[in-house]
Amino acid sequence: MVLRRVAVLFVLMPMFIALVPARPAHAVASLIQTKTAVANATTVAVAFSPTAGINHLLIAVCASRVNATLSIAGFTTAKREAGTPSQGIFYKISAGTETTVTCTATASGRMAIHIYEYSGNLTAAPLDTVNATASTGNSRAVASGSLTTTNANDMIFAAASINSNSTFSAWSGTFTERNDFKSGTQLHAGAADRYVATTGTYTSTATATVAGAWRGQIVAFKLLPIQLTADIVDAAGVPVVSPSTSFSAANFNFSCQTVTATLGAAAQKLRVSNTTATPGWLLSIAATGGPTTTWSDGGTNTYDFNDPTGAGCTDGADVDTTGGQLTVNPSVGTLTPVAPCLATGVTKGASSSFSQGVTDSITLLSAVGATLNCTWDFTGISLSQKIPGEQLGASYSLGLTLTLIAQ
């Protein structure tokens, strides 16, 4: 009796898809939350609610009406200037535990703090650049200063403070206002942002309703690349160079038999990542060689993967002369969102069998309205293959390709 081991080799072809949304293309850096607080003291504090998500970009802007040096413990300084008014922009990558943020000044006076939580940022070295020179004046036109980015996909963040009982009516340069608030009647603070997809020089000017001494600052933060990708990764998230899955061994048999395997394990996880502006996508699997390919031992011995004749056990009216059918059941798999992402909007495919000209690809996962800037791992997909009776013993392989498309 000859022992036959059946193996399937998965040839991975990750699809890189850059979408072009209606507005200028950029990675989706979503503003999760913003909070403000004011005080007439040497400290001012405000809290994230809910607690900031892990790996998100946290920005804190602190302003004082008086000439003071400002600091925020646990945050890195992007830009800090003393004067009348004084202002600083600080940032950090969230550990997922941040709540209260406190700004301390070296002199007492009217203070304002505004904090922001963004997703879609790089987690390592997120700061691109800041405005090199101070931007100050005494008027209604409050300029942020200018900067020139070195990274294509950036979020440009501008902040301004003015010593007057004012409001900001507009921000130029297609910036979106995020905050506009007062600390008493002597200090006004605000901020705006813009997402860009090309390097360049950027600036914005806010118009105040009442003139006063002001200070503007502008900072650029790096965003994730714009991409929708599929990969097979190990437990550490490193792409597997030559992923493969082995079926159960089968002995020679005069009758049709079934062998099984599992696609996706801890060391070979299917991974989907989406940092585009489109929350819909579809992950499918199909034979690399197309619907006319077969399992092969590398020589003359073959059998089919997509012939439904005789419940997958006999040859039908297709181009080859062998039976056999492969069934894929994603519904029993385990979908694991990578924190802080959710599984909401992502659906596992139904069990399906390949059938030449009818079912040439099988859906593994589909997403409608899924969370943006997220990654999902998929394991435990059930595979079963019908092997026709009297199939010669050998080690057979079949190349399969994963395809990921935006919907």
| SS3 labels along 368-406 | CCCCCCEEEEEECEEEEEEECCCCCCCCEECEEEEEEEE
Share of the chain above pLDDT 70, in %: 93
Cα 8 from Cα 397, distance rounded (Å) = 5
Grade residue 263 by pLDDT with cuts at 50, 70 and 90.
very high
Q: Which sign does the torsion angle of CA 366, 370, 372, 374 carry?
A: negative
Closest by CA position to 384, among listed 258, 248, 250, 246: 258
Query: What mean pLDDT is predicted for residues 119-125?
Result: 90
Range with the poorest average pLDDT among 7-11, 259-263, 385-389: 7-11
- The stretch 52-58 carries a mean pLDDT of 92
Interval 338-367 mean pLDDT: 95
**pLDDT exceeds 90 at position 12:** no
Q: Where are the domains of the chain?
A: 3-19+226-406, 31-222
Q: Is 115 helix (H, G, I), strand (E, B) or coil?
A: strand
Which band of pLDDT confidence, cut at 50, 70 and 90, is reported for residue 28? Answer: low
Closest CA to 334 of 325, 343, 324: 343
Residue-wise pLDDT tens digits, 272-304: 999 887 899 999 999 999 999 999 999 999 999
Q: CA dihedral in degrees (333, 334, 335, 337; nearest 10)?
A: -160
CA 246/CA 364 separation, integer angstroms = 19
Please check the confidence at residue 389 and state whether its pLDDT lies above 50: yes
